[in-house]
Amino acid sequence: MKALAGRIFDAMRDLAPIVVVIAFFQIVVLQQPFPNLGDTFVGLVCVILGLALFIHGLESGLFPFGEAIAQAFAKKSSLIALLSFAFCLGFGTTIAEPALIAIAAEAAEVVALAGHIENEVSVREAYALNLRLVVALSVGSAVVIGVVRILKGWPIHVMIISAYVIVTVLTFFAPHEIIGIAYDSGGVTTSTITVPLLTALGVGLASSIKGRNPMVDGFGLIAFACLAPIIFILVYGMIA
Amino acid sequence: MEFLVGLAMSFGSTLRDVAPIVLMLVVFQALVLRQKLPRLKQITSGFALVVIGLSLFLVGLEDALFPIGETMATQLTASNLATTAVEVRWMDYVVVYAFAAAIGFATTIAEPPLIAVALKAESASGGAISAWGLRLAVAVGVAIGVSLGCFRIVTGTPLQWYIIVAYIIVMIQTVFASRTIMPLAYDSGGVTTSTVTVPVVAALGLGLASNIPGRSALIDGFGLIAFASVFPIMSVLSYSLISSTLAKRKHTPRKTEH
């Protein structure tokens, strides 16, 4: 109970900047009154309470679980099981991601307006669905590559910089309209639940394998999961 | 009543988002690992708290923050229309850049995935990396990124040049960065743009692009998220470079102090 009170206090501190920024711009810059102050207050209480509960659940449930599962995999030392788990985690969390569904629909609209595909509902829907599949596959493969990197202890910067070079080269060949969407997609595919799980998995793996350091090898899964969609959407835009 | 309906709907959609993940975890746990989980009760209640907390968080955001944030974004971007200037001057939008930086910073501080990664980084590094330092560094990066992204929309310059230059800067910083901070810095690009930041920033981008003559909301409205994901990598790398230089300076005794 005491821990939860502390978390509520933390959550209030975390949200204070938003309240200050919105109040400042609303009152000083736009010089307008606050619409329905009561609703806003109730909403704010929900946000604070929700954040406190989320963080509490994260530390008591999600983190220990992610680490326990990583340790179990490290002990079992079945590479196929671990890699298929990594793929499913990446694919499964991405395919149903609401932000991805929204961005795929927008991409289809932009590409149709530019005349790259026929501007019909069925064509656009098929394009968006395929795009989602492509991105989910790419995130799944990225997590697999990331896990292999942790196992082998490959240096991350070589891989990330190669990915940057690939993105840069592809940008010159991809259709102009898709570039913005592709770049944005990297940020939206990793959701609130996926990030803690991936982090716990990576750090858990790195701490249970001999010779790996949780800081040097444990982090980085999210970075892979962010770059892969950019590359795959650019390629998809060139082919489809 | 309306509030309760919203809460129930938010709960339902969070549950739907989490269900496939939990299902997959259970399948792997039961069929592949076949091992008893330690502290099963605590983990289950933790997952329940995550779902309840996230639903409350989202319903609160939708009730309290998003409507105001979105209205403000549209009002700020539209307020310059009155000038009916033929040419778009980038200085006319200084207030928008300031708002972009402030709201980018503020929403990033409240971003749950970033809090998660920062907590994990603090514990994994044995306290060498402070969760607050990391969060502040990331938030500064997002602030600069979103602000510059708005400048790009106003001037209509191509997105790829900014991003490619940002990539080159990251590559140069990588040469000098310590190996312990690198993976965390790369990760911080992806964790910043989530539940809180994306809707507000997207509204800002779309508002700007649709209000400025000659910009298309569909094509120019995108890109702010990309800025918000690349710049934190730079700011976290800079933060680590600065703090390690400061630490070094602290250890070497200064002559003037005698």
Give the pLDDT confidence score for residue B141 in this predicted structure.
95
Residue contact A14–B20, C-beta within 8 A: no
pLDDT in tens, B5-40: 888 888 888 888 788 888 888 888 888 777 777 778
A31 interfaces chain B, CB cutoff of 8 Å: no
Q: Which two tokens stand for residue A122?
A: 């069925």
What confidence category does residue B52 fall into, taking pLDDT thresholds of 50, 70 and 90?
very high
Confidence of residue B253 (pLDDT cuts 50, 70, 90): low
* Choice among A108-112, A198-202, A230-234 with the minimum mean pLDDT: A108-112
pLDDT score of B82 more than 50: no
Of B46, B119, B190, the CB nearest to A222: B190
Region A101-119: what's the mean pLDDT?
80
Which residue did the predictor score with more confidence, B33 or A204?
A204
pTM to 2 decimals? Answer: 0.88
Residue B81 has pLDDT above 70, yes or no: no
Nearest by CB to residue A168, choosing from B68, B167, B198, is B167
Chain B residues touching A181 at Cβ < 8 A:
222
Span B78-99, average pLDDT = 69
At B102, the pLDDT band (50, 70, 90 cuts) reads: very high
ipTM of the complex: 0.88
Among the listed residues A34, A185, A12, A58, the one whose alpha carbon sits nearest the alpha carbon of residue B49: A58
Residue A221 has pLDDT above 70, yes or no: yes
Instruction: Say yes or no: A192 contacts chain B, CB-CB below 8 A.
Output: yes
pLDDT digits (tens, 9 = 90+) for B168-201: 999 999 998 888 899 999 998 888 777 788 878 8
Q: What is the pLDDT of residue A26?
A: 85
Long-range contacts of B174-179 (CB under 8 A, 24+ apart): B174/A157, B174/A160, B174/A161, B174/B237, B176/B241, B177/B237, B177/B240, B177/B241, B178/B240, B178/B244, B179/A155, B179/A216
Q: Report which listed range, B86-95, B102-111, B207-216, is most confident.
A: B102-111
User: Which pLDDT score is estimated for B257?
Assistant: 44
3 state SS of B110: coil
Q: Is the minimum CB–CB distance between B8 and chain A shorter than 8 Å? A: no
Cα of A228 to nearest chain B Cα, Å = 12
Residue in B13, B29, B226 closest to A183 by CB: B226
Confidence of residue A46 (pLDDT cuts 50, 70, 90): very high
- Picking from A35, A65, A223, the nearest residue to B186 by CB comes out as A223
Q: Does residue A12 carry a pLDDT above 90?
A: yes
* Contacts with B106 from chain A: Cβ below 8 Å: 17-18, 20-21
Instruction: Count Cα neighbours of A115 within 13 Å in the Cβ-side half-sphere.
Output: 0
The DSSP secondary-structure symbol of B252 reads S
CB contact residues (below 8 A), chain B span 209-228, against chain A = 218-226, 228
Percent of chain A with pLDDT over 70: 99
Exposure string of B185-197, with b = 16+ CB inside 10 Å and e = fewer, is bbbbbbbbbbbbb
**A224: Cα within 13 Å, side-chain hemisphere:** 30
Q: Are B86 and B99 in contact (CB under 8 A)?
A: no
Q: In B, which residues are within 8 Å of A40 by CB distance?
A: 63-64, 68
> Residue holding tokens 């191509």?
B158
Evaluate if residue A41 carries a pLDDT over 70: yes
Tokens, residue B200: 């507000």
Q: Which of B220, B244, B179 is nearest to B88 (CA)?
A: B220
Q: A199 and A222 in contact (C-beta within 8 Å)?
A: yes
